[in-house]
């Protein structure tokens, strides 16, 4: 049984732009990192600065931070869908 990946519009993602409701888009994938933000090793501000944005800068910042394999696997726990084309 295949499960279809949920698609989110930029408008929907933009609504999730606070520490209480924080979504990130990285390489077209949407993550709800609300529960993780306070634990982020670089501080929650790094995440909140990009909350609700579909700008490529988010992906660039994520890739430039050279996250560990463990951090990359942990991010997948928060995957909720993809950016609608």
All domains in the chain, ordered by first residue? 7-83 (3.10.120.10)
Q: What are the b/e assignments for 13-26, b being 16+ CB within 10 Å? A: beebeeeeebbbbb
pLDDT of residue 85: 82
| CA separation for the pair 41, 39 (Å, rounded) | 6
pLDDT of residue 34: 97
Phi, psi dihedral angles at 22 (to 5 degrees) = -120, 110
pLDDT digits (tens, 9 = 90+) for 31-73: 999 999 999 998 899 899 999 999 999 999 999 998 899 999 9
Helix (H) or strand (E) holding 60: helix 56-64
């Amino acid at each position: 049984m295949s499960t279809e990946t949920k698609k989110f519009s930029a408008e929907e993602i933009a609504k999730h732009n606070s520490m209480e409701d924080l979504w990130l888009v990285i390489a077209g994938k949407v993550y709800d990192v609300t529960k993780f933000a306070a634990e982020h090793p670089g501080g929650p501000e790094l995440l909140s600065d990009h909350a609700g944005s579909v700008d490529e800068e988010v992906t660039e910042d994520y890739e430039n931070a050279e996250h560990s394999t463990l951090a990359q696997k942990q991010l997948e726990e928060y995957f909720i869908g993809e950016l609608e084309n």
